[in-house]
Structure 1
Amino acid sequence: MLTRAEIDDILRLIDGSDFTELKLEMGDLKLELRKGGLAQPFHTGQNIPAGGIQPQPPAPPAAVPAPVVASGGGSEIPAPLLGTFWHAPRPGAEPFVRPGDSVGADTVIGIIEVMKLMNSVAAGIAGTVLEITAPNGELVEHGQCLIRIRPH
């Protein structure tokens, strides 16, 4: 059975992502989460004690943060969701971008992994990569700076 802390972690991951629905089945536990829309009943196959998990209204979808102009120069490209940031498409592969690379708004700068799902992150602006600030394979928070770009 999932603990309240584990369910809270799942809710934070979904809230900070572009996903609108999650279905999880573990043994007798069946959990369905949806952003927006009407709440659906779920069945755990187990009794939830009084004072246990309480239904909450769905959270509005999180807006994707826009690039922020940094005081040190360039624009900071923020993480659109919480997860593990990867510089390359797979271990041992060349990174998506390096400092000095020219990028377009739709250039993939990295991947954020959330619950084994890989989410490509685009630069959002055209320019030259100044610095990659988020470490490879580390957890990043929603809105945390991933890279800095000097706009063209």
Structure 2
Amino acid sequence: MLKVQEIRELIKLVDQSSLDEFVYEFEGSKIKMKKNVAGTEVVTRPAVQTAVVEQTPQPQVVVPAAVSQTAPVEEKQAEPVKEVNVDTSNLHKITSPMVGTFYQSPSPDSDAYVKVGSKVSKDAIVCIVEAMKLFNEIEAEVNGEIVEILVKDGQLVEYGQPLFLVKPE
């Protein structure tokens, strides 16, 4: 099965191309992408295995010439996250309310909403989680000080995953 990053790259390539539909099948798994007016739809179906399968080499994905002509995707370099050794038992965890991509700032050329040591109020925006091209502002939930940032900018986060540790006031 393809990795999440590989699926993301396929989505971008299909979205930027003139293709209306893309289908990928391998060992009982199938990924089908169709373009529509609202955006790109991704459907995945996991393979059901009934026997032990020996490790096989990764399949090669054949990309139509129209897709391979697109410009390379630029990766944004994330700033290193500062680590602080702190007793976390009395700290509040700000968690992700959804699966998506974590962003520390409103745009790539803007400063981060918060940094380690920043004072926040309970309704202050601390980050954005992007899901299905919707940018959701995440609030601090408590008054306090940011002690630790647990994820990197541009990282995929899961529902309920801790994003920040806050020392409540």
Shorter-chain TM-score tier: 0.5 to 0.7
* Corresponding residue SS for 1:118: strand
* Larger Cα-atom Rg: 2
Please state how far the C-alpha of 1:5 moved relative to its aligned partner.
6.4
CA RMSD in angstroms comes to 2.9
Provide the residue aligned with 2:3 in structure 1. Answer: none
1:71 positional shift: 3.9
> Structure 2 vs 1, CA of residues 149 and 84 (structure 1 numbering), >3 Å: closer, same or farther?
same
State the percentage of identical aligned residues. Answer: 31
State the one-letter code of the partner of 1:104.
S
The offset of 1:127, in angstroms, is 0.5
Map Cα deviations across residues 59-109 of structure 1 (whole Å, 9 max, x no partner).
xxxxxxxxxxx8454111110111000000000211000111110110000
User: In the aligned structure 1, how far is the partner of 2:93 from the partner of 2:133?
Assistant: 26
User: Structure 1 residue 95 and structure 2 residue 112: aligned?
Assistant: yes
TM-score (norm 1): 0.55
Aligned partner of 1:117 in structure 2 is 134
Secondary structure, counterpart of 1:109 in structure 2: strand
Shift of 1:113: 0.6
Deviations 1:19-54 (A, max 9, x none): xxxxx9727xxx9xxxxxxxxxxxxxxxxxxxxxxx
Determine the C-alpha separation between the residues in 1 that align with 2:126 and 2:146: 9
Matched with 1:132 is 149
Equivalent residue number for residue 99 of structure 2: 82
For 2:145, what is the secondary structure of its paired residue? strand
Does residue 122 of structure 2 align to residue 105 of structure 1? yes
Uncovered stretches (5+) of structure 2, i.e. residues with no partner: 1-20, 24-28, 42-86
Q: Which amino acid aligns with 1:120?
A: E
**Per the alignment, in what secondary structure is the counterpart of residue 114 of structure 2?**
coil
What are the ranges of 5 or more consecutive residues in structure 1 without an aligned counterpart?
A: 8-23, 32-69
In structure 2, relative to structure 1, the CA distance for the partners of 1:5 and 1:74 (3 Å cut) is farther
For the residues of structure 1 that align with 2:162 and 2:104, how far apart are their CA atoms? Answer: 14
What residue in structure 1 maps to residue 36 of structure 2? 26
Label 1:26 to 1:75 Cα distance change in 2 as closer, same or farther (>3 A): same
Q: Does residue 146 of structure 1 match 2:163?
A: yes
